[in-house]
Amino acid sequence: MPNDEAGASLARKLGLFDSTMIVMGGIIGSGIFVNPYVVARQVHTDALILGAWMLGGVTALAGAFIYAELAVLRPNIGGQYAYLREAYHPAVSFLYGWALLFVMQTGGMAAVAVTFARYFREIVHTGGPDSLIAVLVLGLLTVVNCLGVRTGSTVQSTLMVMKIGAIAILVLAAFGSRSGAAHASAAEAFSPHLLLQFGAAVTPVLFAYGGWQTASFMTGEMRDPRRDLSRALLLGVAGVTAIYLAVNVVCLRTLGPDGLAATLTPAYTVMQKAIGDRGALFISYAIAVSTLGFLSQGMLTAPRVYFAMARDGLFFRAIAWVSKSTRVPVPAIAMQGALAAVIALSQQYEQMLSYVVSMDFIFFGLTGASLFVFRRRMQRAPQHRTPGHPFTTIFFVSVCWLVVAATFYHSPRNSLEGLALVLAGIPVYLYWSRRKRGSA
């Protein structure tokens, strides 16, 4: 692995368990405690609601199969950033890193940090603005991850295990309760309108399954990225699919499709029916832990992309610096934490989140399609093959483009503004690429 000027390099300390927890931690945030009602408002039977969540899981698994093969073919530092760079052009990977830093990652982290702050204040009954608490927690996680990849990964894995435990308690409490809803879920007759409703239900589900790809950023710190990342992607996505289906099953069992559609806080309502008012406090704890774990995962993974950009000569040289003592890219981690804190204080994260959806899936689709590029260049069959390729790959890429098209159709202004922010990175790329050529 190339070293930086100081002679320090990233430390390969992550194994299969760490990698799997990173995959799951990138997917499961606070949404699963809230989002089931969004789907139930679009489709109104148990079969269609669970079918939407199952289809989302199948799509994520198809993507995980693709990324698993890419991890074997290109176990490079930066993961998805490296796939885009080597399949297409450094400009494409730079725009991905640019969007990650200034829109997708930092804006999302600021929003999640503020969500954590709201639940934290509810638990400890403290005053103070949400933005200040958000900045403090972002600062804390920045420091933790600057202490070393093992420290950051241990915190992330611990929070992920706590998340799984909280969801398990929710599921077991609901199944152990006698408060199940009596309902008969009649089948809906097939029609074009129903198909459109089902598509509208699947869209937020696909967003809920997003995030597993960020584990690919950590390949430079995995002991065996070819083996561990591919296995972690499959185990992690399959595990989250099982968790999401279990939560929706207990929501439907307790509330029924109509009751689920009628509440904005399904997990809270389920726990209240199962164990009374104690359920409200439990869900507050669970969401706080879940958001904190999601933040920890983002602080651990995304800075490796900025590090890879700087190492390629396409960003500030200092961002490629690795601490000799902790062997992590401290400036890259600190930069992300500081920018997310600024966004949290400015309260611009809600506007930025409206840009994330279409931009994220554009790069998803490009990365999935990169498998065709790499396969065409290969002289022999890969060691790990995506099951059902090219059909499963075409399915995944097509779903990504459909989500992008739907987002541009339903939110054209936000989508175009997001695209403009990404394209604003082109002159920045040209500047850095000329500077790189000049110093060569």
Residue 200 lies in a domain: yes
> Mind listing the pLDDT tens digit for each residue in 137-146?
999 999 999 9
Q: Look at residue 349 and tell me whether its pLDDT is greater than 90.
A: no
Residue 407 lies in a domain: yes
> Mind listing the pLDDT tens digit for each residue in 161-177?
999 999 999 999 888 77
Q: Under a CB-based contact definition with an 8 Å cutoff, are residues 431 and 403 in contact?
A: no
Helices then strands, counting H and E runs in the chain, come out as 18, 0
Residue 11 lies in a domain: no
Q: What is the pLDDT of residue 189?
A: 60
DSSP 8-state class, residue 143: H
Mean pLDDT of 362-382: 87
Residue 4 lies in a domain: no
- The two tokens of residue 107 are 């804006």
Task: Please give the Cα distance from 301 to 113 (Å, whole number).
Answer: 16
Residue 2 lies in a domain: no
Higher pLDDT pick, 344 / 178: 344
Residue 8 lies in a domain: no
Q: Look at residue 5 and tell me whether its pLDDT is greater than 50.
A: no
Residue 3 lies in a domain: no
- In the structure, what pLDDT confidence band is assigned to residue 250 with cuts at 50, 70 and 90? very high
Mean pLDDT of 268-293: 87
Give the chain's length. Answer: 440
- In the structure, what pLDDT confidence band is assigned to residue 340 with cuts at 50, 70 and 90? very high
Residue 140 lies in a domain: yes
What's the domain range around 394? Answer: 16-439
CATH number at residue 428: 1.20.1740.10
Q: What is the pLDDT of residue 184?
A: 52
Helix ranges (DSSP H) in 100-191 = 105-124, 130-146, 149-176
- In the structure, what pLDDT confidence band is assigned to residue 180 with cuts at 50, 70 and 90? low
Question: Directed axis angle between helix 391-410 and helix 412-423, to 10°?
Answer: 110
Strand partners, 14: 222
Task: Provide the domain count of the chain.
Answer: 1
